[in-house]
Structure 1
């Protein structure tokens, strides 16, 4: 079953220095029907003005990754990590027993545009950890490249959950088909451009829930950048 959530239906947060769109309930945006999907808890599309950002704040028991679309994101954390995250980079932080971090626009002139994504881990506790890797555009062109997995397959970052994340770039006749195991869910997020998912036209910011699909097909991309989440077939409880 396919359930499309249009970009215009997302939560909106405007803070001057930050313009954010929330696919699922987050902070002051609360929608009982939109609290996540399987272990996928947050997809925030953030645009941060030059020199601004999120000051030091804590997390625990969450797998958090950032996917930069434009600009540079400067990361610092209590594990001693300091890094610059640019388009093509994927950053994954396992919060574990607790970590503090900050994320700032690394430029004084240009905005940064990125996705912040949270996935519920398969266990609580554990030591915090940080990973970062660059995936070349050519590696994602016209295909779905595995970027995150529970076993680090094919050079992907290792996540503490039975979740696999794929990234792809599509234009013109480029297409990709992803087969999924039985009793799995999938979530598709269009980061930019437009594309067709199993013949359904999607635009930037649109997301799609797929429950127990055997496969999914992406075609007809126009400057499309897409993330696909292969998830356990379970549902998160609804908000009270």
Structure 2
């Protein structure tokens, strides 16, 4: 029962596919009503959740526009009346060497990966403080701990995600809000497709993963349900690596 999310509402961003889709489905499987937010439609995610009888609504929105985030949050509130769980999953990446990293690429990544995460957390945090508690789950990365190659903007944003996670946990733990993050390892998604397509790089990555395989989005379902549920009520400011053992290597 500690993992039961019946009666809870989750706002999940970046739900058109991949990790966001899997997390939205996992929370719905655990009983939560889900509001799926993505720049493109989340029709496939909606079909999956409704296919097993889950409750889900969707919003199409450009989360890089900070001025529109309050409207997104209010629209989400309108579906089920409250937001108990926020999952900041929306993210983007630009792969160019630091010496040639365009200013627009930098700002595009920071706007989605960092700014939208903070301002949505701020909106949700105020709502949760009024309600006496809630859960915020940020999606970090292995590049929250490492430098990576040819992804300076992404690395900077994901390092910042771990810092914001800890800062908000410090301020809001006493308000009954748990703020944690999941750092996925190498997961087979659209964002990692260029790495998988590079035979040498893909093999080098695989050789370092003790589990002996790349992850898939469904590997994030259980951790997300745990952090969204009462089972994690004494867990705050933590970054949970779901990486097949990569960080232990």
Q: Greater strand percent: which structure?
A: 1
TM-score by length of 2: 0.31
Which of the two has greater helix per residue?
2
